[in-house]
Amino acid sequence: MSDEPPEPSVAPLIEALSVRRNAAVGAAAGVAFAVLAYVFRITRVAGPFAGTREFPVLGETGWFLLLSVVLASTAALLVTTLLTLGSLIRLVRAEA
């Protein structure tokens, strides 16, 4: 048997920072933003795509759909990070 102390858990910190709620809000915001951008591009509200480009394999719609997935995940990560940072600041101020 070893005399090492048990490893500390990060679960209380994650709960105190509301990471689960922040991730859910971030995911919803990211998906909503990506859907909006995708619809904006596909309905050509901004006009036709500039230039005569070729979109191999997937076509224009497929490539914009893949870009929307990247946009959704990036926006979700950004919103989650900002909300968690805000939770951290509030927690630190409450403890001080």
Confidence of residue 73 (pLDDT cuts 50, 70, 90): very high
Task: Calculate what percentage of the chain has a pLDDT beyond 90.
Answer: 53
Report CA dihedral (32, 84, 21, 19) to the nearest 10 degrees: 130
Interatomic CA distance for residues 62 and 73, integer angstroms: 17
Is 60's pLDDT higher than 80?
no
Interatomic CA distance for residues 7 and 16, integer angstroms: 19
Is 78's pLDDT higher than 80?
yes
